[in-house]
């Protein structure tokens, strides 16, 4: 084993120790899932940023930019930046004011318990896919820094992140996000300046960009309608699919005030954009500097190895690990929260706090094992993340919009929209391989909600009218 590998392991051990120390302050379910609802500006901003800026933002984005150019990376960083801006401007204050524990709680308050549980069932796979992407990326970093096979490093990564998440909860996550976010930003800046300096300046670096990689529209698309639908699909997935994610909403409702929730989301969006442009740029110039890579997802670690000294590479590898750890624990926490809080604890509301904590930690372990299996059999990090943002979120987005900002529609409308949106996406994406499966699922979810809501309203008016003219005996 080389010094870089042991340097990364040392960094991981320090992160684990810090998580263990902070975890001693976790006493209730609110502490574990929402950090006691006490996050200030610094903690909330870095937690939102670090939660989102994970494997797909570094390794996944660089690899996809290398293989497909800008046409493959509309979602990251641009789409997810827009998602965080939307959260700040539209959703942060209304969601905070509801005093939720999970997003599924809103569906219970606005619609019914059945809607809450259906939402949880749909959202759990989303968080698991996100977690699998982070675990796979963790394995990629370890594999690129050692002689170990990817399967072995993914197994090591899964063990570390499951242990880290089960111990710390959101309180430990939020506190370590400051360190992790800072190390990540420093690592990306060091790598960017090193590459640009080695190439002879920003002009030479820009000259290394391949012109055919600089279009947001995939090559071979001539039809205007085809271009519009392709771009709409690319933007809708990260914005509509991720603004309803439990990982995002948990940070918003964990803020100490609605103003902190709103402003922190806004600051995190700009921090995300600035940091996200670095791996995107490196992936684009990597296509010229490191042609014909067998695995495009190796472009970022390989570029770092070539342009950084061993000490600086350890710092950069630590930055990648920071990005991954800060995201994966959020994903596993989200899946565990939806499972334990909305599917089990809701049935036994009088459960003691120690039992709630134990249940949540067991849930983290179980979800972590499932995510590990998904990571082993995934095609790639970016594909995992796109599936995570798309899976079942169309109906959830539609129902949340109507539920938050209107009284139109009821239980039947919500359930119809949730089921139809998830079903249509699964069939069109996995079976039919339809190019615009997410737009189709959004449209079907919207039509289902409107149709059922109008039907319910018509039936209610009909029954009222019949009762009004019913003859008395």
Any idea what the CATH number is for the domain that residue 260 is in? 1.20.1730.10
* 387 and 406 housed in the same domain: no
* 16 and 121 housed in the same domain: yes
Has residue 385 been placed in a domain?
yes
Vertex 455: Cα angle to 453 and 460 (nearest 5) = 95
* 448 and 351 housed in the same domain: no
* 309 and 329 housed in the same domain: yes
Of 329, 364, 391, the domain-final residue:
391
* 368 and 403 housed in the same domain: no
* 404 and 376 housed in the same domain: no
* 330 and 253 housed in the same domain: yes
Cβ contacts of 261 within 8 Å, gap of 6 or more:
44, 92, 93, 95, 96, 252, 253, 255
* 334 and 457 housed in the same domain: no
Q: How far apart are CA 92 and CA 84, in angstroms?
A: 10
Has residue 31 been placed in a domain?
yes
pTM score, whole prediction: 0.86
Integer angstrom CA distances of residue 445 from 18, 241, 387, 418:
44, 13, 18, 7
Has residue 93 been placed in a domain?
yes
Integer angstrom CA distances of residue 277 from 235, 269, 434:
17, 13, 30
* 275 and 422 housed in the same domain: no
Q: Is 418 exposed, middle or buried (0-12, 13-18, 19+ CB in 10 A)?
A: buried
Q: How far apart are CA 407 and CA 425, in angstroms?
A: 27
Of 391, 411, 436, the domain-final residue:
391
DSSP tag of 39:
B
Of 391, 411, 431, the domain-final residue:
391
Residuewise pLDDT in 10s, the chain (473 residues)? 567 677 777 777 777 777 777 777 787 888 888 888 989 999 999 889 888 787 668 877 888 889 888 877 877 788 889 999 999 999 999 999 999 999 999 999 999 999 999 999 999 988 888 888 777 777 777 776 677 777 787 787 778 778 877 877 787 777 777 777 787 788 888 889 998 998 888 888 888 888 878 777 666 666 678 888 888 888 898 899 889 999 889 999 999 999 999 999 999 999 999 999 999 999 999 888 888 888 887 888 888 888 888 788 877 777 777 777 777 778 888 999 999 999 998 878 788 888 888 899 899 999 989 988 888 876 555 556 656 667 778 999 999 999 999 999 999 999 999 999 999 999 998 889 888 999 999 999 999 999 999 998 888 788 776 665 555 54
Per-residue b or e along 421-451, where b marks 16 or more CB atoms closer than 10 Å to that residue's CB? bbebbbebbeeeebebbbbbbbebbbebbbe
- Structural domain harbouring 37: 3-391
* 278 and 411 housed in the same domain: no
Domain count, the chain: 2
Has residue 473 been placed in a domain?
no
* 50 and 72 housed in the same domain: yes
Integer angstrom CA distances of residue 180 from 51, 174, 277, 278:
10, 10, 18, 17
Taking alpha carbons only, the member of 175, 155, 209, 195 closest to residue 316 is: 195
Q: Is 291 helix (H, G, I), strand (E, B) or coil?
A: coil
């Amino acid at each position: 084993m080389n010094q870089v590998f042991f340097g990364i392991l040392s960094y991981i051990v320090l992160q684990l120790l810090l998580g263990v120390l902070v975890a001693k302050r976790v006493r209730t379910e609110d502490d574990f899932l929402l950090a006691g609802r006490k996050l200030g500006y610094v903690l909330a901003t870095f937690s939102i940023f670090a939660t989102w800026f994970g494997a797909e933002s570094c390794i996944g984005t660089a690899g996809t930019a290398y293989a497909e150019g800008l046409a493959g990376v509309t979602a990251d960083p641009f789409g997810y930046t827009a998602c965080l801006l939307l959260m700040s401007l539209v959703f942060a204050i209304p969601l905070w004011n509801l005093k939720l524990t999970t997003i599924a709680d809103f569906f219970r308050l606005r619609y019914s318990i059945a809607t809450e549980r259906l939402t949880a069932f749909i959202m759990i796979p989303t968080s698991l896919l996100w977690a699998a992407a982070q675990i796979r990326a963790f394995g990629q970093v370890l594999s690129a820094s050692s002689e170990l096979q990817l399967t072995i490093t993914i197994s090591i990564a899964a063990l570390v992140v499951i242990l880290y998440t089960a111990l710390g909860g959101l309180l430990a996550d939020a506190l370590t996000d400051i360190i992790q976010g800072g190390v990540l930003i420093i690592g990306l800046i060091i790598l960017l300046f090193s590459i640009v300096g080695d190439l002879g300046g920003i002009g030479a670096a820009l000259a290394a960009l391949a012109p055919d990689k600089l279009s947001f529209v995939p090559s071979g698309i001539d039809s205007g309608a085809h271009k519009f639908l392709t771009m709409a699909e690319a933007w809708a997935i990260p914005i509509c699919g991720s603004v309803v994610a439990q990982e995002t909403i948990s940070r918003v409702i964990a803020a100490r005030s609605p103003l902190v929730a709103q402003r922190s989301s806004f600051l995190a969006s700009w921090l995300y954009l600035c940091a996200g442009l670095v791996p995107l740029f490196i992936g684009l110039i990597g296509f010229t500097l490191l042609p014909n890579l067998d695995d495009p997802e190796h472009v970022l670690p390989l570029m770092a190895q070539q342009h950084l000294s061993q000490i600086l590479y350890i710092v950069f590898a630590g930055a990648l690990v920071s990005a991954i750890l800060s995201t994966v624990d959020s994903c596993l926490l989200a899946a565990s929260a939806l499972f334990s809080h909305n599917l089990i604890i809701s049935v036994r509301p009088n459960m003691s706090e120690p039992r709630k904590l134990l249940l949540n930690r067991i849930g983290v372990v179980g979800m972590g094992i499932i995510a590990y299996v998904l990571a082993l059999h995934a095609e790639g990090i970016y594909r995992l993340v796109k599936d995570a943002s798309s899976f079942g979120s169309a109906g959830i987005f539609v129902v949340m919009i109507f539920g938050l900002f209107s009284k139109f529609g009821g239980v039947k409308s919500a359930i119809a929209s949730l089921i139809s949106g998830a079903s249509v996406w699964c069939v069109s994406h996995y079976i039919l391989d339809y190019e615009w499966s997410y737009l189709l699922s959004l449209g079907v979810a919207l039509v289902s909600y409107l149709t059922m809501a109008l039907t319910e309203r018509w039936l209610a008016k009909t029954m009222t009218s019949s009762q009004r003219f019913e003859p008395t005996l």
